[in-house]
Amino acid sequence: MYNDLDPLLHSQLRLAIVSMLIHSEKVEFTHIKEETKAAAGNISIQIKNLQEAGYIKVEKTFKNNYPKTFVSITDKGVKAFESYVNDLKKYINPKK
């Protein structure tokens, strides 16, 4: 029924991740875990899928000897998100 929607974004967890990144320069992995309440393994898989599609970038750093993973959205990801939201609007308000 919703074939036109980007299948990569039309997933609960991946959409939550991208929605979180749209307003931010970068977000730490643990914050995504706290906000989505999903398992770390599941988030890692979804982040990998989004990264392979070129929608997000992953940056690994160290702070006080602790590894930190930051995720940020790319221009391609922003465009995909915008077109996904526009497609959603068409489903909700088909007349517009």
Partner 1 sequence: MENINLTPEESFNIINKAIANFKLNYRETAKVFLLWGWVLAIASFSNFIILKILYSREALGLMGLLSLCNWALFLLIGFIIMFFMERKSNKDKKVFSYLESYFKNLWTVTAASFIIATFICIKLEINPPPIMLLIAGIATTTSGLLIKYRPVIVGGMAFFIFSLAATFVSNEYISLIVFAAIICGYLIPGYSLKSAKA
Cα 43 to its chain centre, rounded Å, is 10
Residue 13 and residue 71: Cα distance in Å, rounded? 14
Which of positions 9-48 make contact with partner 1 (CB under 8 A)?
Answer: 10-16, 19-20, 22-28, 30-31, 35-38, 42, 46
Min CB(49)–partner 1 separation in Å: 10
Q: Which two tokens stand for residue 8?
A: 């990569």
Half-sphere exposure of residue 1: CA atoms within 13 angstroms, side-chain side:
4
Residues in the chain: 96
Say what angle helices 29-36 and 12-21 make with each other, to 10 degrees. 130
Q: Is residue 80 a contact point for partner 1 (CB under 8 A)?
A: no
- Please identify, using beta-carbon distances, which residue of 12 and 76 lies nearer to partner 1: 12
- Please identify, using beta-carbon distances, which residue of 38 and 58 lies nearer to partner 1: 38
Site string for partner 1, 57-76 (x = CB under 8 A): -------------x------
Q: Is residue 6 a contact point for partner 1 (CB under 8 A)?
A: no
